[in-house]
Structure 1
Amino acid sequence: MKTFYSVLLCTLITAITYGQEQKKTIKDTTTQTTTKLNEVIVTGNLKTDPVLTVVSNKYDEKIVQPKNVADLFNNIIGFSVIKRGNYAIDPSFRGAQYEQLNIQYDGGTKAMHACPNRMDPITTHIIPEEISKIEIIKGPYTVRYGATFGGIINLVTQKPDYEDHGLHGKVSGGYESNGNSLVNLVQLQYIKDKYDIVANAGYRDFGNYEDGDGKEIPSSFRSTDYGLKIGYNFSDDQRLQAHWRQSFGRDVLHAALPMDTEYDDSSIISLDYSLDAIGKTVKSLTAKAYYSYVDHLMTNYNRPSFMMMEAASGVDAITAGGKIEINWKPSEKINVFSGLDALHIARDGNRTRLVKIMNGNALPSPMEFNDKVWQDSYITDLGVYTEAKYSISSKTIFTAGIRYDNVTSDIQDPEDDFAAMYDLEKRTEHNVSGTVSIKNRVSDKFTLEAAYGRGVRSANMIERFINHFSVGQDPYEYIGNPDLKAEVNNQFEIGFKGYEPLKNSFNSFKYETSFYYSFFENYIVGIVDESLTRKFNPTSEPSNPKVFRNLDEAYKTGFEAMAQVDFLDHYFLKTEFSYVYAKNKDLAESLPLTPPFTTRFVVGFEKVKFWANIQYNLTSKQDHISESFGETETDGYQTLDIRLGLKPIKNITLGFAVINALDEAYNNHLNFSFTNQEDFGSTPITEPGRNFSAFLQYSF
Structure 2
Amino acid sequence: MKIKRFISGIREYHILLFFSLMCSFSYAQEKTIQVVDEESKKGISDVYFQYDKTSGFTNESGEFNLEYLEGVTLFLSHIQYGKIPVSTESIVEAFRSGILSIREASNFLMPVTLVQVQHGTGDKSKLDISVQNKLAHDAGNLLEEVPGISSIRKSGAYGFDPVLRGFKYDQLNLVLDGVQTASAACPNRMDPAASQIPINMISQAEVLKGPHGLRFGNAFGGTINFKSSAPDFKQKPTPLGRLGTSYESNGKIYRTEGVAGVAGKKIDFRLFGSYSSGEDYTDGDGVQIAANFNRLNYGGKLAFKLSETQDLGVFVSNNIAKDVDFPALPMDLREDNTWLFNASHSARFYGSSLTSWNTSLYGTMVNHLMDNFDKVIVPRTVDAETDAETTNYGGRSEMRFDFENSHLFGGVDYRFESAKGYRTRNMLMGPMAGKVFTDNVWQDAEVNRAGLFGEWHISQPGFQFVVSGRVDMNSSSAKNPDPRFTAIYDDLEATQLHPSVSVGGTRLFNPKFSLGLWVAMATRSPGITERYINQFPVGLDPYEMLGNPELDPEVNNQLDLVFKYQTPAAGVTVNLFTSVLRNYISSEIRDDLSPALPTSPGVRQFVNIKDATMAGFEMSWTQKMGTFLSHDASLVYTYGKNKLEDEPLPEIPPLEFRYRLMGSFLNDKLQPEIMWRSVQKQDRIASSYGETKTPGFNVVDAKISCLFNKSITATGGVQNLFDEAYYEHLARSVRGAETRPIYSPGRSFYVTLTFSFL
Q: Same fold (TM over 0.5)?
A: yes
After TM superposition, the structure 1 = structure 2 runs for residues 375-454 of structure 1, keeping only pairs within 5 Å, are: 375-391=443-459, 393-454=460-521
Residue 586 of structure 1: aligned partner: 644
Task: Give the distance between the partners of 2:491 and 2:350, measured in 1 at CA.
Answer: 48
Task: Give the distance between the partners of 2:420 and 2:340, measured in 1 at CA.
Answer: 18
Contact 2:232–2:268, Cα closer than 8 Å, also in 1: no
Task: Give the distance between the partners of 2:136 and 2:113, measured in 1 at CA.
Answer: 22
Task: Give the distance between the partners of 1:266 and 1:157, measured in 2 at CA.
Answer: 17
After TM superposition, the structure 1 = structure 2 runs for residues 229-378 of structure 1, keeping only pairs within 5 Å, are: 229-305=301-377, 307-329=380-402, 331-357=403-429, 361=430, 363=432, 365-378=433-446
Task: Give the distance between the partners of 2:78 and 2:740, measured in 1 at CA.
Answer: 49
Query: What SS class does the counterpart of residue 57 from structure 2 fall into?
Result: coil
Task: Give the distance between the partners of 1:323 and 1:484, measured in 2 at CA.
Answer: 27
Once the two structures are TM-superposed, the CA of residue 650 in structure 1 deviates from its matched residue by 4.7
Residues 428-461 of structure 1: CA deviation (Å, up to 9, x unaligned): 1001111101023332222322101112111111
Query: What SS class does the counterpart of residue 318 from structure 1 fall into?
Result: strand
Residue 644 of structure 1: aligned partner: 704
Task: Give the distance between the partners of 2:258 and 2:655, measured in 1 at CA.
Answer: 39
Q: Which amino acid aligns with 1:84?
A: K
- Label 1:144 to 1:36 Cα distance change in 2 as closer, same or farther (>3 A): same
Once the two structures are TM-superposed, the CA of residue 33 in structure 1 deviates from its matched residue by 5.1
Would you say 1:226 and 2:252 are equivalent positions? no
Once the two structures are TM-superposed, the CA of residue 314 in structure 1 deviates from its matched residue by 0.4
Q: Alignment partner for residue 499 of structure 1, among 553, 562, 566?
A: 566
Residue 67 of structure 1: aligned partner: 136
Task: Give the distance between the partners of 1:39 and 1:289, measured in 2 at CA.
Answer: 24
- Label 1:586 to 1:150 Cα distance change in 2 as closer, same or farther (>3 A): same
After TM superposition, the structure 1 = structure 2 runs for residues 54-203 of structure 1, keeping only pairs within 5 Å, are: 54-59=113-118, 62-65=130-133, 67-69=136-138, 70-85=140-155, 86-162=157-233, 166-203=238-275
Q: Which amino acid aligns with 1:315?
A: A
Residue 598 of structure 1: aligned partner: 656
Contact 1:351–1:371, Cα closer than 8 Å, also in 2: yes
Aligned length: 656
Residues 374-427 of structure 1: CA deviation (Å, up to 9, x unaligned): 000110100011222222x14412111221100010001011010111113432
Q: Alignment partner for residue 617 of structure 1, among 677, 689, 703?
A: 677
- Label 1:649 to 1:283 Cα distance change in 2 as closer, same or farther (>3 A): closer
Query: What SS class does the counterpart of residue 245 from structure 2 fall into?
Result: strand
Task: Give the distance between the partners of 2:114 and 2:293, measured in 1 at CA.
Answer: 30
Residues 77-115 of structure 1: CA deviation (Å, up to 9, x unaligned): 111111111112111111111111111112221111100
Once the two structures are TM-superposed, the CA of residue 657 in structure 1 deviates from its matched residue by 2.0
Q: Which amino acid aligns with 1:311?
A: A
Task: Give the distance between the partners of 1:194 and 1:160, measured in 2 at CA.
Answer: 10
Structure 2 unmatched ranges of 5 or more: 1-51, 61-76, 83-101, 120-128
Residue 563 of structure 1: aligned partner: 621
Once the two structures are TM-superposed, the CA of residue 541 in structure 1 deviates from its matched residue by 5.4
Task: Give the distance between the partners of 2:136 and 2:396, measured in 1 at CA.
Answer: 32
Residue 527 of structure 1: aligned partner: 588
Residues 199-224 of structure 1: CA deviation (Å, up to 9, x unaligned): 11111111111111111111111011
Contact 1:464–1:480, Cα closer than 8 Å, also in 2: yes
Once the two structures are TM-superposed, the CA of residue 48 in structure 1 deviates from its matched residue by 5.2
After TM superposition, the structure 1 = structure 2 runs for residues 674-693 of structure 1, keeping only pairs within 5 Å, are: 674-675=734-735, 677=736, 681-693=738-750
Task: Give the distance between the partners of 1:177 and 1:159, measured in 2 at CA.
Answer: 35
TM-score (norm 1): 0.90
- Label 1:385 to 1:243 Cα distance change in 2 as closer, same or farther (>3 A): same
Task: Give the distance between the partners of 1:163 and 1:609, measured in 2 at CA.
Answer: 28
Q: Which has the larger radius of gyration?
A: 2
- Label 1:44 to 1:32 Cα distance change in 2 as closer, same or farther (>3 A): closer
- Label 1:88 to 1:62 Cα distance change in 2 as closer, same or farther (>3 A): closer
Residues 246-297 of structure 1: CA deviation (Å, up to 9, x unaligned): 0111111111111011100000000111111254122211111100000000
Contact 1:38–1:107, Cα closer than 8 Å, also in 2: no
Residues 210-244 of structure 1: CA deviation (Å, up to 9, x unaligned): 11111111111101110100001111221111100
Contact 2:719–2:747, Cα closer than 8 Å, also in 1: yes
Residues 563-616 of structure 1: CA deviation (Å, up to 9, x unaligned): 122112121121110011100111221111100000011111135322121011
Task: Give the distance between the partners of 2:618 and 2:297, measured in 1 at CA.
Answer: 35
Query: What SS class does the counterpart of residue 417 from structure 1 fall into?
Result: helix
- Label 1:39 to 1:205 Cα distance change in 2 as closer, same or farther (>3 A): farther
Query: What SS class does the counterpart of residue 99 from structure 1 fall into?
Result: helix
With CA pairs under 8 Å and 6+ residues apart, which has the higher RCO, 1 or 2? 1
Task: Give the distance between the partners of 2:526 and 2:364, measured in 1 at CA.
Answer: 21
Task: Give the distance between the partners of 2:427 and 2:81, measured in 1 at CA.
Answer: 50
Structure 1 unmatched ranges of 5 or more: 1-25, 502-507
Contact 2:207–2:222, Cα closer than 8 Å, also in 1: yes
- Label 1:587 to 1:604 Cα distance change in 2 as closer, same or farther (>3 A): same
Task: Give the distance between the partners of 2:756 and 2:615, measured in 1 at CA.
Answer: 45
Residues 495-549 of structure 1: CA deviation (Å, up to 9, x unaligned): 0222235xxxxxx221111000001010000111122222211xx452x311000
Contact 1:39–1:107, Cα closer than 8 Å, also in 2: no
Contact 1:77–1:578, Cα closer than 8 Å, also in 2: yes
**What is the alpha-carbon root mean square deviation over aligned residues?**
2.2
Residues 656-697 of structure 1: CA deviation (Å, up to 9, x unaligned): 12111111111100111112x4xx622321111111111111
TM-score (norm 2): 0.83
